[in-house]
Amino acid sequence: MATNTFPDAFLWGTATSSHQIEGNNVNNDWWEWEQEPGNIKNGDRSGAACDGWNRYAADYDLLRDLNQNAYRFSIEWSRVEPKEGQFDKAALDRYLDMLRQLRKRGIEPFVTLHHFTNPRWLAPRKYWVDDETPAAFERYAKAVVDHFGDEGPRFWMTFNEPMVLITMGYVLGQWLPKHRNFGEAGRVFLNLLEAHRRAYKVIKARHPQAQIGLANNMSPFQAYPGLDAGAAGAGGQGGAGRGSWLNRFAASLVNGTFNWPFLEALRTGRARIPVFGVNHYAPELKGTQDWVGLNYYTRGVIRFNPLHPVTSLVPQPPAPGVEQTSMGNEVYPAGIHQCLTELWAKFKPLPIYVTENGVSVPDDKRREAYILSHLAQVKRAIDEGIDIRGYFYWTSTDNFEWSEGYHQRFGIIEVDFATQARTVRPSGWVYGEIAKHNRLPG
Ligand code: GCO
């Protein structure tokens, strides 16, 4: 019988990334990019961020107060290796201390090796376009693994949202390096996969028990307008997504391009993205994933415009009357259930962790509702037999939201950036109670 209780040992956490919280990551590509006017909304810069580099222990105290038993954070490559081949022992020590401080509080660390930012010394090599970059990443991963020694985390992610990195940088050209070049996108795809494989081997060689995955962003993509308009209010962005054949074709193209290629390559060894002209068989990629990480925020409704073939593959804004977030996304809880179901169908028996799910909204009541409605869908998937072992809300403290700057507020902990004061929001206490009792209210 279905109850509100989650499986034993379910992990309740929040997720963060180095550049978004630490502050003063002066040696990475984003830092430089932020200095150029026009790249970040309102001229914001990451600056001191939430000063996570210095305040982590106090922040972990808050997470303990919220009954968290897991926490996802990333290691900043440009801190560990600020100059090519020169590793900063003090930085590595601090990351090791983060692991210790978390464990002391009964919080299981999930560590990401790469969350969007790159050391600036990779610029002359065009970052991930260069075929030498995977070897550089392997050397960095090895430095981290060696430094942590026996204290290394059990759970690792090599990359965060590799397809978002490619899309923003090389397809839409909105982030560094601001290129629109499918040939480069294809190279980056293959190099990220190769870097993943190398890091996987390095970690496993030292820690055979380690559990390694990556955080894969997914949205169900559906065709505009969709027939069952009633399901989601005005505008016809209903659930089934049975728009014109052209929109259906475009939606399936977007789905095949953005949701699956990384995960499929790690399962089958086939690295394939037809629109980038990539179809490569690398059997050594096979099996280099121990669990599946899902980042879920919203769905995407696709309306193809032959006059603007690339940009029309970007999802439509939500229809009027549909609840939307400050990021302009539709609130669509059923989508997380759909993603979990599709992931399980393809990758079972690998367990799934929801490595990110969250919302930026002006009214914290709506954050609470978002958390509850999405967790109810996660629970439904568990009840249907899907092996889901943890959920990470994005994010703990408000932080630097990339090109959106500081006005987006995702945190269950409010940050006053003038004073660095933290205040747990009511939604945070609600999430803390869920974690404490391992069950949804009601
Ligand atoms: C991403 C990242 C996070 C974001 C979060 C909110 O998805 O882009 O993993 O760094 O801050 O998703 O947009």
> In the numeric block, which tokens belong to residue 319?
């229809």
| pLDDT tens, residue by residue, 161-193 | 999 999 999 998 889 888 899 999 999 999 999
Taken in order of first residue, the domains within the chain and their CATH numbers are 11-437 (3.20.20.80)
Task: Write out the DSSP string of 397-425.
Answer: B----GGGTTS----SEEEETTTTEEEE-
Question: Quick one: pLDDT band at residue 310, thresholds 50, 70, 90?
Answer: confident
| pLDDT tens, residue by residue, 265-300 | 999 999 999 999 999 999 999 999 999 999 999 999
Mean of per-residue pLDDT scores for the chain: 94
Cβ of residue 211 lying under 6 Å from some atom of ligand 1: no
Cβ of residue 76 lying under 6 Å from some atom of ligand 1: no
Q: pTM score > 0.85 for this model?
A: yes
**% the chain with pLDDT above 70:** 96
| Closest ligand 1 atom to 404 CA | 13
Q: Whose CA is nearest to atom 4 of ligand 1?
A: 401
Q: What is the pLDDT of residue 233?
A: 39
| pLDDT tens, residue by residue, 74-120 | 999 999 999 999 999 999 999 999 999 999 999 999 999 999 999 99
Cβ of residue 331 lying under 6 Å from some atom of ligand 1: no
Report whether 79 contacts 91 (CB < 8 A): yes
Tell me how long the chain is: 442
| pLDDT tens, residue by residue, 382-398 | 999 999 999 999 999 99
Q: What is the pLDDT of residue 152?
A: 98
Cα 335 to Cα 188, 295, 323, 374, 376, distances in angstroms: 28, 11, 14, 9, 12
Q: What is the pLDDT of residue 205?
A: 98
Give the max Cα distance, the chain: 59
Q: What is the pLDDT of residue 231?
A: 43
Report whether 420 contacts 51 (CB < 8 A): yes
Cα 69 to Cα 33, 291, 322, 410, distances in angstroms: 35, 19, 34, 20
How far apart are the CA of 3 and the centre of ligand 1, in A? 31
Residue whose CB lies within 8 A of the most ligand 1 atoms, among 354, 402, 408, for a mutation test: 402
402 pLDDT more than 70: yes
How far apart are the CA of 121 and the centre of ligand 1, in A? 24
Mean pLDDT of 141-153: 98
Q: What is the pLDDT of residue 243?
A: 64
Q: What is the pLDDT of residue 312?
A: 84
